[in-house]
Amino acid sequence: MTERNEHHYTENVQDHLQQVLHLLEKHALVETVTHRQELPRDERHELLDKMLHKRHLAELREKLEELHPADIAFILEALPIDQRLMVWDQVKADRDGDILIEVSDAVRESLIATMSREELREATEKLDTDEIADLAPDLPQNVMRDVFKSLSIDEREQLRAAMSYSKDSVGALMDFNMVHVREDVTLEVVSRYLRRFEELPDHTDQVFVVDRDDRFKGVLPINLIVVNEPETVVGKLMLTDTIRLNPDEKAVQAAQSFERYDLVSAPVVDEEGKLVGRVTVNVVLDFIRAESETDLLNQAGLREEEDIFASVWKSAQNRWTWLALNLCTAFFASRVIGSFENTIEKFVALATLMPIVAGIAGNSANQTTTIIIRSIALGQVSQANARRLMIKELAISGLNGLVWGGIAGLFAYFLYHNVALGLVMTSAMLLNLTLGALVGIGIPMIMQKLGRDPAIGSSVLLTAITDSGGFFIFLGLATIFLIR
């Protein structure tokens, strides 16, 4: 990497985005001015070519060549569709595959739609087999057939293996680009072997040790190769007590291992003890980021990641499912209120206080469910400790209900000078916060037991339950104690 490129790679990606936007604005300005010229059509096109393609698009191409594929991916995701496709056209063809891997699924779909079968094949063939497997779900079948035919026999087997694992497994995260040696060779042999590489695979902090049948024996950290005598045999230095992953293991568990033990890479070993691949920290970080984004979307009731510049129709469809459910629960809440019309008519102050009861309980329930979802993700919640956890959350909600319910009750008393109303307010807050704690724990636990993501629609369901429950509890208590 040149010094110039190193400088650009360390710039703020927002700076890159602003520079690209500036070039696109100049491009649009020149195009607008050109089309306003009172010239014959052929001359206008000739002027457009000279002013546009030879200058601003050339500057844009030059800028893009300096950027890392991840930075280009960020820029593409931040641009409206027309500008995105214009930038995509200026990217060198030999970088298409690397960028497609980096962009989000939603944006990748819009880019692939503009590419021909041949362009897709060429872009995909330049990727490693594990990256091809990541891209495969978004590629047309005819492109995948072409790519499959172009691979060697070993690469085909690797691709089949990578595509056979579920997307949330270690097998989906692993790559096959690794260095392994035998335990009966010396460090001198290992050093000569490593020098044959033009460059070592990314994140190679250790060499994997296998026997003649590729069964995993241990790891040899790179630093041990450097500081020990060349005549030392690998078997004497290798570490056998090391983390090893199984391809069918949940990717979340692998991510926890990387975080807990500060791993840079880890071997993936099958049931027969054979080394089949490795997982590296950069892939784990990408997985954690993607999982976090998915959890945020699920909590809001969104079905999938959304391209922020997608069409109105497509974006609306993505949001319909839980909006429809929310509408149903809103109708239910309105009927709860409607059933207490007589109570509200006789004591109008209830209408102004109802949102307080529902709002505070909804916020408390969201706090509870966020803690539970995080604990489930970290593997800290089990059937053995679920009961104790529920008791603790109920105790917290009880304490909060007494404290903040008491404050709300005093507020109601000072406003309306009615002791009974203040007591009803306090009692309703206490009961609704308790309800919020129950559903805040119950929804994620039930989702986990059903094998679903605990975060799916949690905020939507919590709001619905705490609103309806809060209205019912508050108005019910008011009917009993305030209306005679």
> Per residue in 409-421, pLDDT tens?
999 999 999 999 9
- The reply to whether the predicted model has a pTM over 0.75 is no
SS3 call for 167: coil
**324 torsion bin: left (phi>0), alpha (psi -120 to 50), beta (else):** alpha
Which of 71-75, 117-121, 180-184, 315-319 is least confident? 315-319
Which is more confidently placed, 349 or 299?
349
Provide the H-helix boundaries in 241-280: 251-261
Is 238 part of any domain?
yes
Clarify whether residues 30 and 103 are in a common domain: yes
Residue at a domain's end among 281, 298, 329:
281
Do 218 and 113 belong together in one domain?
no
User: What are the tens digits of pLDDT across the range 46-85?
Assistant: 555 555 556 777 888 888 998 999 999 999 999 999 899 9
Any idea what the CATH number is for the domain that residue 131 is in? 1.25.60.10
State pLDDT tens for residues 79-133.
Answer: 999 899 999 999 988 899 999 999 988 899 889 999 999 999 999 998 989 899 9
Pairing of strands 180-182, 206-210: parallel
Same domain, 89 and 185: no
Residue 405 has pLDDT above 50, yes or no: yes
| Cβ proximity of 364 and 437 under 8 Å | yes
Do 155 and 66 belong together in one domain? yes
Same domain, 347 and 273: no
Q: And the tokens for 324?
A: 């429809």
Q: Are 416 and 349 in contact (CB under 8 A)?
A: yes
Q: What is the pLDDT of residues 253-296, one digit of tens each?
A: 999 899 899 999 999 999 999 999 999 999 999 898 888 777 77
User: CB–CB of 432/354 below 8 Å?
Assistant: no
At 416, the amino acid letter reads: Y
The number of distinct structural domains making up the chain is: 3
Sheet of 216-221, strand order: 180-182, 206-210, 216-221
Residue 304 lies in a domain: no
Q: Is residue 35 located within the same domain as residue 121?
A: yes
Q: CATH number of the domain that 445 lies in?
A: 1.10.357.20
HSE-CB at 332 with a 13 A cutoff on CA atoms is 16
Same domain, residue pair 401 and 434: yes
Q: Does residue 439 form part of some domain?
A: yes
- Across residues 22-42, what is the average pLDDT? 64
State whether 465 and 346 are in the same domain. yes
State both tokens at 327.
């509408």
Compute the distance between CA of residue 139 and CA of residue 116 in angstroms, rounded to an integer: 11
Whether residue 380 sits in one domain with residue 461? yes
Please name the amino acid found at residue 118: E
Q: Residue 216 domain-assigned?
A: yes
Domain ranges, residue 232: 180-281
Same domain, yes or no, for 162 and 184? no
Report the candidate in 171, 378, 165, 363 with the shortest Cα–Cα distance to residue 291: 378
DSSP 441-463: HHHHHHHHHTTS-TTTTHHHHHH
Distance of alpha carbon 484 from alpha carbon 478, whole angstroms: 10
Q: Are 412 and 353 in contact (CB under 8 A)?
A: yes
